[in-house]
Amino acid sequence: MDGISCDRCGTALLVGANVRYVVAIDVRAAYDVMEVSRSELEADHREEMRALLKKLEGLGAEEAQRQVHCAFRFDLCPACQRNYVNAPLASAPTAPRRLEDVERAAIQAAWAASGREPARAAEILGVKKQGLARRMKRLGIKK
């Protein structure tokens, strides 16, 4: 997401190849167009709305938003782009990887998923916010 390194394998971009790739993922709640009848328009929906609001009470605004829409953006090197387009829903490569690359990829994914919110990214990773900041600095990941 920084345009400097591949978010999948950690390879420096534009060093060994003169091209890099950007993956933009947009995850939205799907809905189908409803046919609304006259009786549905005339019905009292207040109880239904109260129940819906009650379900939302326990959620923070960010979590409520995440249940409806999330957007991710990743930089890929040419090798990871080929792997990605061949199997976009597959998990990360299974070949052995350096621990530092795995850590970098996990942090970058959490950082993107959190909307660049340090407390949320730390929660996703199961670490303290200060620990995440230290790791990001050590790995050269920009906020």
Kindly state the tokens that stand for 36.
């609304």
Least distance between Zn ion and beta carbon 129 (Å): 28
> H helices of 7-92, where?
38-42, 46-57, 61-66, 78-86
Distance CA 55, CA 52 (A): 5
Q: Which segment (18-26, 35-43, 76-84, 103-111) binds Zn ion by CB under 5 A?
A: 76-84
Give the number of other CB atoms < 10 A from CB of residue 55.
10
Q: Check binding of 8 to Zn ion (CB under 5 A).
A: yes
The correct pick among 1, 5, 9, 101 for binding Zn ion (CB under 5 A) is 9
- State the number of binding residues for Zn ion (CB under 5 A): 6
Residues that bind Zn ion (CB under 5 A): 6, 8-9, 11, 77, 80
